[in-house]
Amino acid sequence: MAETLLWVLPLVPTVAALAMLTTGDRRILSAIDVGSSAVLVALTLLLAREVEAGGPRSLGVFRVDDLGLVFLLLLVVLTLAVSIYTVGWLRQAVAVGNMKAESLRSYFALVHAFVATMVVTVLADNLGVLWIAMEGTTITSAVLVGYHGHRHGLEAAWKYIIVTTIGISFGLFGTVLVYAAAADVMGGAGTMSWSAIMEVAPTLDPGIVRIGFIFVMIGYGTKAGLAPMHLWLPDAHSQAPTPVSALLSGVLIKCALLAIIRFQTIAAAACGPAFAEEVLLVFGLISVVVATPFILAQRDLKRLLGYHSVEHVGIVVLGLGFGGAVGTYGALLHVVNHGITKALAFFAAGTAIARYGSRDMRAIRGLFAVAPIGATFLMLAALSLAGVPPFSIFVSELLVLRGGIGHAHWVAIAIFLVMVVVIFAGLLHHAGAMAFGEPAAAASREPEAWSPLLAMMLLAAIMVLLGLTIPASVDGLLRRATEVVVG
Amino acid sequence: MSAESVYTIVDDLGALLLFTMILILAAGQIYRAIYAVAAQSLLIAIAGGVLATATGNVDLWVIAGVTLGVKAIVLPWVLLWVVRRMNVRREVEPVIPVAATLTLAVMVVVMSFHVSASLGSVRHAITGNALPVGIALTLLGVLVMATRKTALHQMVGLFASENGIFFTAMAVTQGMPLIIEIGVILDVILAALVMAIMVLRVRSTVDADIASLDRLRG
């Protein structure tokens, strides 16, 4: 049963993508969109139950364990939220001419092809398949980033495809080196399967694995948006259509993190945990530090959220770098929390931008007066992103911090704390200015559309719930996932 | 073929690969860089053939054939087609002088060999000097992309980088699994097509080379 699900899961969005090519009707397209995403969620929950009862399953090049399940659940929940959001967003975008009604089928088909490639990256056991699917996400999403077809969109799309393609070719080199080390030990043809390499990992040649891990870190780190390879991220995330921004920021960079974690476990077994943790720590700190000034000085709302992703990916990697059960658990929880919160933030920002017709935060004023519900969600997302209790990100940042204290990384903790406090102040300043005050005359006063609000409600509910308490089932899943990483 | 002669041939091919890389770095006109990268892909295909004969691995013959067809013929042809469509014949202005680029390139090559020499048992896992040559090609491809701003030069740099990876992958004991190599090549083709479409689209919609799009900052 569970084995069947492994190949059915990537097939669902693929079939949906093909079905979407056959029709041009917006209502039918939206129905297939929401329907296929809902099926994906249902099947994933089924798979989660099977894995909880019977442990990891594998089928050919696919495999699911608790670690992959954390990312898969995030992926399908956000895909569903994005599908619901798209219904209302698209109606508005077509009305104002941002999206052309006749090219909708290719847009929807590309989104689902993008989702399918991401599902494969999460389920891939074979490291080669992982790389191929990761490059697949770049190709499909690059077209989506430039979808609006204007000058800035095309510039962002070009930067995105060039930087990430060259980035992950480093990832392929790293994969080849790890494979070479494994083939050397196993003799004969060797294998690229992660689970098989993990079995022989302690005997791998540490020298080759070390160089391989650095290549992988630069490669998939580019895709994850780690500084200093993050240059494409603020452009792509800000120029893409809003639902795509949410997928890029909420899910795609997390898929790249999963790839890094897979190689981290191999490197930790082959060269001892200290080496991998040191590399992760350095990249995490650079990301958090580099993102800060750009967040403070930012005027473009979606670019602000893009730089915020750089900071939060940095925090996840810091958690992994601090290591130990607490740091890793915190990092994985942060992956989930940031994914949910960032998608919510992009949704709220997207509706605000559509209402004011501008992405400049100085033009967006008095949102509470014209769209009270949307403004509330924007404030909630901003408060959570800033790390205010009782929201979920506060909890995971605290856990990452505790992981650091447990391993006495005092300098890293000091830098981390200073940056988080500065960003806290900067973000609340930006959000407060947008939400309160007198609305600009240019602001549209139309009633708020239901479907974006429903999508935001779904995400906000998860965000608040995870802040107040971590349900036993989620806690159990995260604990087992942590064991996969730490051993 | 004896193991020693395979090592020698792979090393010689590695030297030729580095030579084509220097041609790409020094090329003033874009079509010369495209011919150089096509020659480089041809050398990779020959390396695949040599390693296939030496190891008796049939998969490597397939990979060599696909490399020859796709990377040495089809992709350069697509690039030249785009060049003709865009009618670019002008000299490309590098960000830094070619002499400085070549000095940097020498440093990258020396460093790659130095790093590989520090690995003791690498000769068991990867044939000959394929690892340092692969690292050097990958990094030099990035150097091309960093120092040349035009879209086509960046694509050439990307293909050169990927050639480096393929060279190393072929020299791993038995080569990579065939299905993975095919998947990787498919990805490369798709990415190249999407890039070519983007280049032409920027031409037609905003009448500019992608390199002159630099509004997104900060």
DSSP secondary structure, A288-329, as one string = HHHHHHHHHH--BHHHHHHHHHHHHHHHHHHHHHH-HHHHHH
Task: Considering only the beta carbons, identify the residue of A139, A188, A211 that sits closest to B115.
Answer: A211
Mutate which: A100, A158, A203, vs B, most B CBs within 10 A: A158
What is the C-alpha to C-alpha distance for residues A8 and A2, in angstroms, rounded to an integer? 10
> Is residue B171 packed enough to be buried (19+ CB in 10 Å), middle (13-18) or exposed (0-12)?
buried
Q: B82 in contact with A at a CB cutoff of 8 Å?
A: no
Mutation for testing the A interface, residue in B118, B158, B167, B172 having most A CBs under 10 Å: B172
> How far, CA to CA in Å, does A199 sit from each of A196, A239, A257, A275?
5, 43, 22, 20
Q: What is the pLDDT of residue B163?
A: 92
A316 vs B173, higher pLDDT: A316
Residue of B nearest to A167 (CA): B142
Q: Using the Cα atoms of residue A72, residue A473, residue A329 and residue A263 in order, give the sign of their dihedral.
A: negative
Please work out, in degrees rounded to the nearest 5, the angle formed at the alpha carbon of residue B79 by the alpha carbons of B74 and B85: 125
Q: pLDDT tens digit string along A12-46?
A: 999 999 999 998 888 999 999 999 999 999 999 99
**pLDDT tens digits, one per residue of A129-181:** 999 999 999 999 999 998 887 888 888 999 999 999 989 899 999 999 999 88
Q: Is the minimum CB–CB distance between B99 and chain A shorter than 8 Å?
A: no
Tell me the pLDDT tens digit for each residue of B105-133: 999 999 999 888 887 666 667 777 888 99
- Comparing A341 with B86, the larger pLDDT belongs to A341
Using a 10 angstrom Cβ sphere, with 0-12 exposed, 13-18 middle and 19 or more buried, the burial of residue A190 is buried
Identity of the amino acid at A18: L
- Give Cα separations from A179 to A40, A90, A128, A199, B185 (angstroms): 32, 45, 9, 13, 18
Cα nearest neighbour of B209 on chain A: A155
For residues A162 and A146, give the distance between their C-alpha atoms in angstroms, rounded to a whole number: 13
Residue-level pLDDT at B13:
93
Q: Is B63 on the interface with A (CB under 8 A)?
A: no
**Is B151 an interface residue toward A (CB < 8 Å)?**
yes
Say whether A392 sits in a helix, a strand or coil. Answer: helix
- Return mean pLDDT, chain B: 85
Q: Cβ–Cβ of B161/A179 closer than 8 Å? A: no
Q: What pLDDT does residue B93 have?
A: 67
Determine whether the interchain pair B138/A169 forms a contact, defined as Cβ–Cβ distance below 8 Å.
yes
pLDDT exceeds 80 at position B218: no
Position A39 scores a pLDDT of 97
Q: Name the stretches of chain A with pLDDT < 70.
A: 188-190
Nearest alpha carbon to residue A240 among A152, A144, A311, A123: A144
Chain B: closest CA distance from residue A382 (Å): 21
Tokens 């540490």, located at residue: A206
Q: Among B158, B168, B205, select the one facing A173 at the smallest CB separation.
A: B168
Cβ of B121 within 8 Å of Cβ of A184? The answer is yes
Instruction: Name the residue among A128, A184, A297 with its Cβ closest to that of B176.
Output: A128
Chain A contact set for B119 (CB, 8 A) = 205, 207-208, 211
Q: Which residue of chain B is at minimal alpha-carbon distance from A297?
A: B218
Taking Cα atoms as reference points, which of A176, A204, A133 lies closest to residue B138? A176
Q: Tell me whether 0.95 is exceeded by the ipTM.
A: no
Residue B197: per-residue pLDDT: 87
Asked whether A435 and A361 are in contact (CB, 8 A), the reply is no
Alpha-carbon gap, residue A4 to A47, rounded angstroms? 10
Alpha carbon A217 to its chain's center: 17
* CA separation for the pair B208, B189 (Å, rounded): 24
Cβ–Cβ of B198/A154 closer than 8 Å? Answer: yes
Q: Is the pLDDT of residue B89 over 60?
A: no
The token pair that represents A448 in the structure block = 């708020």
C-beta atoms of A172 and B184 within 8 A: yes
What pLDDT is attached to residue A383?
93
Using CA coordinates, name the residue in chain A closest to B202.
A154
Q: Return d(Cα B138, Cα B160) in angstroms, integer.
A: 7
Q: What is the share, in percent, of chain B residues with pLDDT greater than 70?
A: 88
Q: Are B190 and A137 in contact (CB under 8 A)?
A: no
Query: What is the chain A residue with the closest CA to B194?
Result: A139
- For residue B214, the chain A residue with the least C-alpha distance is A155
Cα–Cα distance for residue pair A139/A385, rounded to 1 Å: 29
**Residues in B touching A138 (Cβ below 8 Å):** 191
Q: Please report the residues numbered 181 through 210 in chain B whose beta carbons come closer than 8 angstroms to any beta carbon of chain A.
A: 183-184, 186-187, 190-191, 194-195, 198, 201-202, 205-206, 210
